[in-house]
Amino acid sequence: MSLSGAYGQSADADGIRVVHHAIERGVTLLDSSDMYGWGHNETLLGQALSGGWRDKVVLATKFGQTQRPGGANGVDGRPEYVVAACDASLKRLGVDVIDLYYQHRVDPTVPIEDTVGAMAGLVKAGKVRALGLSEARPETIRRAHAVHPIAAVQSEYSLLYREQAEETLATTRALGISFVAYSPLGRSLLTGTVRQASDIPAGDGRGRHPRFAAENLAHNLARTAAIETVARAHGVTPGQVALAWLLAQGDDIVPIPGTKRAERVDENVAAASLALTEAEVASLSAALPPGAAAGARYPEAALKAVYL
């Protein structure tokens, strides 16, 4: 996502180098979507994975969000759209099969059984290996899983966003489903690199997020002081502590921090070697309890499409 304009501009050649660097550093899961740059991200990954890189990774992408006039995203979970979207993603990625295919946003106008039924048809056809959902409520996950096994559920989860994620986690664990945590660094709020609203570059999508609004940002940054305390004790970065906290929540959790910089890839990978004590994990959880963040996690229009 960060390689396709969501967090400022990124040159394709630089993006390909970052993807290759990540794979060389041991990253084995690449996560995309047909709405990241509206096809650009998948095309970029297709270029990066050509020439022998494809077999080194689990390739995940998503469908379901659509472009509407005026800027607001739509959603489409109709069975016929599922098939068409998958075929288009396969072509852009330049692959014969997608390892993990997510419904990016649940379509409230289409029964989840119908959408997942069509996704199951993709597995039967050999176009997809495993199915996932993104931003789905526990009851939606259970209904989907009854149609076809759901391998992974992707939701926002970090020290600054825990409420709905931890509700979802209880369901995924009961069903044996992996939990993929996106925005595990709170869109940079947990990294110590943002101190004021002016630190967000022009054109960066974070500028539209309520948690970065002036009236909320100071509150949210103050709550992260506990992370910086633990980071200093270990001689690591706050972002590494935030990732280590997530990893400490269970072996079924897979954080997917995004970046467009090779040095951040190295920093994030190194977080896997950071072992926090039980007391440190508990102190961080207490310092940033569920509901601690100020501001919704998405602008109002986008918020209506999550956790359905």
Q: φ, ψ for residue 62 (rounded to 5)? A: -135, 160
298 in catalytic set? no
First to last CA, the chain: 22
Q: Output the six-digit token pair for 181.
A: 């945590």
CA atoms within 13 A on the CB side of 89: 31
Catalytic-role residue among 36, 101, 102, 161:
36
Residue 80 CB: number of other CB atoms within 10 A? 9
Query: Under a CB-based contact definition with an 8 Å cutoff, are residues 67 and 74 in contact?
Result: yes
E strand or H helix at 40: helix 40-49
User: Comparing C-alpha atoms, which of 170, 111, 101, 104 is closest to residue 146?
Assistant: 111
Q: Match 């921090």 to its residue by tokens.
A: 257
Between the alpha carbon of residue 22 and those of residues 39, 46, 57, the distances in Å are: 21, 15, 10
Identify whether the C-beta of residue 100 lies closer than 8 Å to the C-beta of residue 60.
Answer: yes
Active site residues: 36
